[in-house]
Structures are given as C-alpha cells and as structure tokens.
Structure 1
Amino acid sequence: MSTVGDAVAALERAYPPELAESWDAVGLVCGDPAEVVDTVLVCVDPVESTVEEAVELGAQLVVAHHPLLLKGVHGVGADTQKGRLVHRMIRSGVALFCAHTNADSADPGVSDALAAALGLTVTGPLDPKADGRTGIGRVGELAEGEPFSAFVERVAAALPATAWGVRAAGDPGRSVRRVAVSGGAGDSYLGAATAAGVDVFVTADLRHHPAAEHLARPGAPALVDVAHWASEWPWCEQAASVLRSALGGTVGVVVSTRRTDPWTAQVAGAVSRTGRSTG
C-alpha cells in the first residue's frame, strides 16, 4: 500500500520545494499523510470541476500545478469559493498537493514537458539558476528547421485545443530551428529569449505592449502565444509518471483532460470596408 505521504515524498524529490519562488505556496494543502492512496488525479488547476472529477474517480489525492491558496487567507469558510473546495475535499477524503514554481524550475519540469510535446531536444534552461541545470523555461532544437508557419501548426497540433487558440507574430517564411519555451505566463522572459539567440519563443499570456516592444527590436525571435492552461497541461503526464515509477504500480494515476482554461469562447471581429477590425 502507498500513502499520501509516500506520494508527497516522491513528488518533492522530483520537484524540490526549495526551487519554489519565495512568494509561492507549494506542498500539501490538505489531507493526512498517513492516509492510504490507491487513486491519484493530476491536473493543472484545483478547481470545482477537477475536485468533482477526483470525487467521481474515488481518488484520495489531487496533484495540481497551480496553488489553491496562493495568497494569505484568514479562513476557509465553506461560504467562500476556495473554502468550499477545501471542505469538499476533506469531507470526501481527498488530499491536495500543489507543485508550482518548484515544478517550473525542476529538471525535468513544466517547460521540459512542453518542449517534449513540441518535439524539441532541450539544451538547457532559458533563465538558469546558479547550478546552470534548473531554472525557468527551456531552450531546445528541432531535428530539422522548418518555416515559422509550419512551426505554429506544430504547436497547435501538440497542445489541447482552447478557445484562446494559438496566436503567432513573425514572418511566416522565417526558418525555425532553435526554440525557447516557457510554460505559463512568460513575457518577463522576452529579453532572455532574445539573448538566447532563438528563432521563436513559445509561452502564454503575452500582453500587447511587451510583445510589440519585443518585436520592434532587431533580431528578436518570433512569438507564439498559447493558453496558459494548455502550455502547462503536458506537465501532468510528467508528474503522473513520477508517481507511477516511485510507487511501484500500487496506485492508479489519472491525468485530467477537463479543460480548466477560463476562456470558453472566441468571436472573430468583423472587418469593415476600411480593413479595420470592428470587433
């Protein structure tokens, strides 16, 4: 038999808590380390739909990337959104473990999973820590170069579909071989991507002004912007593999396929006779 504590130990070996940023909230959120586990659900977001999925599965542990209680709280009353989730999990015998920026920086971590999904061979971190091995983002290479337009199609095919879709900025005919990726919000690493000399940077949550200013600089890599949830979802299978390997087949590990991206629809703006979007 395996316990919650056994699962936590395996996950913390893979994603050491000391790699987490100082502001982050990682580790066991609720649950008894001594409780026996036979089913685990791995997801990006600990939200109502994934907690419901865990209860439906009879899971005793949810492993999530995003923290449930990132900001300080003074209580978890069941009359609050997050409090209701905590109460639901405790009443259902479901523990919650979160690996966030420690999973981002670990080797392998979130961006390694994203790089693998895109068919990249990783050569190192985009923003390395002192050891040169761990850190945020990854730089990698395709086996062969391809046009930027084909690479954008590669990204769209590799990640789960979302209403956000895949947005791209760059010359469609530009040759792409060397690629930087950063799962989650990555516009603070635009400078690092340029310094790395990559052809394209794949990340999420790019904002108008930082992206526009980046693209105006000589030699700047092209950009591919995907939904935050989609960029981190490949990590779920990586974390599931950690548990399957460490716990010797004593637990069933399920990767959630429920889309927890908050955006649910996209409507293209109409184009007026002047050619300007009216949407």
Structure 2
Amino acid sequence: MANNVTASDIIKSLEEIAPKEYAFDWDNVGLQVGSLKQPVKKVMITLDVLENVVDEAIEQGADMIVAHHPLLFIKLNEINLDTPKGRAIKKLIQHNITVYASHTNLDVAEGGVNDAMAELLGIENLKPLIESNNEELVKLTVFVPESHTDYVRDAISEAGAGHIGDYSHCTYQVSGEGTFKPLEGSNPLIGSQGDLEKVKEDRLETILPKEKVDTVIHSMRKAHPYEEAAYDVFPLLNEGQKRGVGRIGDLSSEMTLHTLCELVKEKYQVPKLRFIGEPDQKVRRVALLGGSGEKYHGAALAKGADVYITGDMTFHLAQEAWENGLMVIDPGHHVEKVVNPVLKKYFDDKFSNEVKFFISASNTEPFRFC
C-alpha cells in the first residue's frame, strides 16, 4: 500500500466538501492533535474521540482519526493525564495519531450530516432550515490554445467549476487570437525566444464557488500547456447556493407520526425515541437537524413543518413546541453517526487503494434504553 498520502491530503479532500469556513464561529473545527505531515495508511472515521475510541485506533494501527465531534471543543486549561481526556491526548501523541474534526461545517455541507439523515428517511425537495452563509461566486476566464480547450474544461469542471444546479461543465467559449513574445529564460510550447507569436486561442469562461478558487486554479495550471497561463478571476454579485444547518422538505407520501417514528428507529438504528404529538396525526412536511437542535424548533414551525426531528430536547422547550402544535421526534444526539458511512464512501472513492478507511466500532452512546 502506498505511503505518500499525508494527513494534510486527507484534510484537503474533506474540506473540498466541508470547508472550515462553513463552521459556526463558536465551533472548534480542524486539526485537534498531531501533525499535518503525518504519513497516512489507515484512517478511522468516528463520531466522537473518547478514550475507548483512541484505544481502538491504536489497536487497529490507525495513523489518523477523522471525527465529527471535536476532541477539543471546550477550552482546556490543563491537560491532566489522570483524566480520560488527558489520557486520550497522551495516547494520541505517543502513537503519532493525527486527529481532525469536521463539525458544524459538516452539518452545513451538502451531502453532510443533515443530508444523510434526510436521505435515509426519503425526504425530498430539501432546503436549509436555518441559513448560515450563502455561497459567494466568482467567474474564471482563461485563455487556452484551441488544441487544449476541452482538456482544460474537463480539468476545471472536475475540480468544482461550472456546476449549475443539476448540470456540470457549464462554460462559454469564444475564439480569438492571442499574442506573446518568449523572453530569455523561457521554454515556450509554441514559438521562439525573441519572436512575437500569434496563436489561435479560446477564451473559456465559467463560474465557481469562491472557496474553490485555489483548487480550480491549481487544476487549470496542471492542464494548461503554457508555462504561464493567462487567466482572470472576477467577483460576482450573482446569488449562489443557500447554505445552512438543518434541512426541511417533504416525505414522498403522507404518513402517521407513529409510522414516521418507526421509520426513524429503523433507519437511524435506535431502539427507542421520544416524541411529541398524537401517534395517528398525519405528517408530510419534515424539518430535521442532527445533534442538539431544540432552539431551532421555532424555525421549523415558521417554515411550515408538521414534525421536527432533532436531539436533546429539554422539558420546557418541548412544552413550547407542544403548545404550538409542532410534532417532535427526538431520537437522540448520537444519530449523527449516519454520516460515517457517507464519509467512508467519499474517502474510498477519493483515495482508492492508497489508504484504508474504517468506521469505529467503539460505543460512544452514553444512554441505555429499557
């Protein structure tokens, strides 16, 4: 198995879909422990980084842990090696295991925690429940010799440019004539040093999210045949994709609250759950938010949800939702684990046989049910 992949490569790959900029300002996402230069052959994917999870990572020979919940979420005033967290940190350092956390940014991300939860229940027409930050768009214009236009188009599109709705490779091109004079020290693909060269070129234009500029430019430069590619990047006022935490959408067909509760238990693999409402009430429009989403139940009401699925509902806010006629299903915080298989597939596709990814088998659910 190849040994040229580093923790930095794994992180860059994850941040392509869940950039740190998506995270809430109170969150602590990113590198938690270890080195970005750490060579990586085996990566554990987990919801939490508890001491038993670290022990499993050591036993399995993992070089890196990718977690949803940050190990260092609450500021530490000391690293006490007599505490579970202190011991966990010590073991991670001793065994050269790098830990990275993707938390609220993975909640916001398309295909992240909330989309995984919604997909399992078959919820359609999804939109963010709470908008947190909207996508900023830029336009890339690059000048390419005609012989390489298709090659460059494919490269920038695969890197994330030119995606509009359900369409990819969205570009516009105009043919023209480019000029340049290779100077001393140059190694031109076309022409000779000191001579003005005229070349038939295409002006290739596309749009892309601002956070993908560096990745797209890198791919464009690799695909472009010239030593020095001519290109421009322009900010746009166009409204990009709306992002946010939680999702709201519709079930494919109406069902009772009881039927939805049973579906939640099956799909999220929970033995029990709490709910608010009458079992025979009909539901169609569903809001959900993985983790602790009780404070957003008002948004679910305002957007017309029949039922709100989230964890950690406390008594008084549950009463408030009940009095306002909002049905609620609380399957617990731990159901965010449903994103782990999604991440594993994503990484497997990205790194093929270079790195082995596995999902932690350690139990981090503190609650028992009877």
Please list the CA deviations of residues 120-152 of structure 1 after superposition, one character each: whole Å capped at 9, or x if unmatched.
224211001242521110012222111111111
How far apart, in 2, do the equivalents of 1:169 and 1:150 lie?
Answer: 14
Q: Is the 8 A contact 1:112 1:122 kept in 2?
A: no
RMSD: 1.6
CA shift, 1:154, in A, is 0.3
Equivalent in 172, 192, 205 of residue 279 of structure 2: 172
Equivalent in 276, 297, 300 of residue 193 of structure 1: 300
Secondary structure in 1 aligned to 2:248? Answer: strand
How far apart, in 1, do the equivalents of 2:98 and 2:125 lie?
Answer: 34
How far apart, in 1, do the equivalents of 2:252 and 2:345 lie?
Answer: 25
Q: Is the 8 A contact 2:92 2:98 kept in 1?
A: yes
Secondary structure in 1 aligned to 2:116? Answer: helix
Bigger radius of gyration: 2
How far apart, in 2, do the equivalents of 1:211 and 1:260 lie?
Answer: 25
Matched, 1:99 2:102: yes
- Give the structure 2 partner of residue 149 of structure 1: 258
How far apart, in 2, do the equivalents of 1:133 and 1:257 lie?
Answer: 35
Q: In percent, how many aligned pairs have the same letter?
A: 34
Q: Which amino acid aligns with 2:327?
A: A
Structure 2 matches for 1:63-212, cutoff 5 A? 63-131=66-134, 133-161=242-270, 165-212=272-319
Matched, 1:214 2:214: no
Q: Which amino acid aligns with 1:233?
A: K
How far apart, in 2, do the equivalents of 1:138 and 1:228 lie?
Answer: 16
CA shift, 1:9, in A, is 0.8
- Give the structure 2 partner of residue 262 of structure 1: 366
- Give the structure 2 partner of residue 46 of structure 1: 49
Question: Bigger CA drift: 79-88 or 180-189?
Answer: 79-88
Q: Which amino acid aligns with 1:160?
A: Q
Equivalent in 216, 226, 229 of residue 331 of structure 2: 226
CA shift, 1:157, in A, is 0.6
Q: Which amino acid aligns with 1:148?
A: L
Q: Is the 8 A contact 1:27 1:99 kept in 2?
A: yes
CA shift, 1:206, in A, is 0.4
How far apart, in 1, do the equivalents of 2:95 and 2:314 lie?
Answer: 40
- Give the structure 1 partner of residue 24 of structure 2: 21
CA shift, 1:76, in A, is 2.3
Please list the CA deviations of residues 15-65 of structure 1 after superposition, one character each: whole Å capped at 9, or x if unmatched.
111111111111111122222211111111100121112112111111111
Q: Which amino acid aligns with 1:239?
A: L
- Give the structure 2 partner of residue 249 of structure 1: 353
How far apart, in 2, do the equivalents of 1:141 and 1:112 lie?
Answer: 13
Question: Bigger CA drift: 58-67 or 256-265?
Answer: 256-265
Secondary structure in 2 aligned to 1:103? Answer: helix
Q: Is the 8 A contact 1:41 1:63 kept in 2?
A: yes
Q: Is the 8 A contact 1:128 1:134 kept in 2?
A: yes
Question: Bigger CA drift: 191-200 or 245-254?
Answer: 245-254
CA shift, 1:247, in A, is 2.0
Q: Which amino acid aligns with 1:149?
A: H
CA shift, 1:2, in A, is 1.5
Secondary structure in 2 aligned to 1:9? Answer: helix
Q: Is the 8 A contact 1:19 1:105 kept in 2?
A: yes
With normalisation by structure 1, the TM-score equals 0.88
Q: What count of residue pairs does the alignment treat as equivalent?
A: 261
How far apart, in 1, do the equivalents of 2:91 and 2:118 lie?
Answer: 35
Q: Is the 8 A contact 1:197 1:221 kept in 2?
A: no
Q: Which amino acid aligns with 2:345?
A: S
How far apart, in 1, do the equivalents of 2:289 and 2:333 lie?
Answer: 10
With normalisation by structure 2, the TM-score equals 0.67
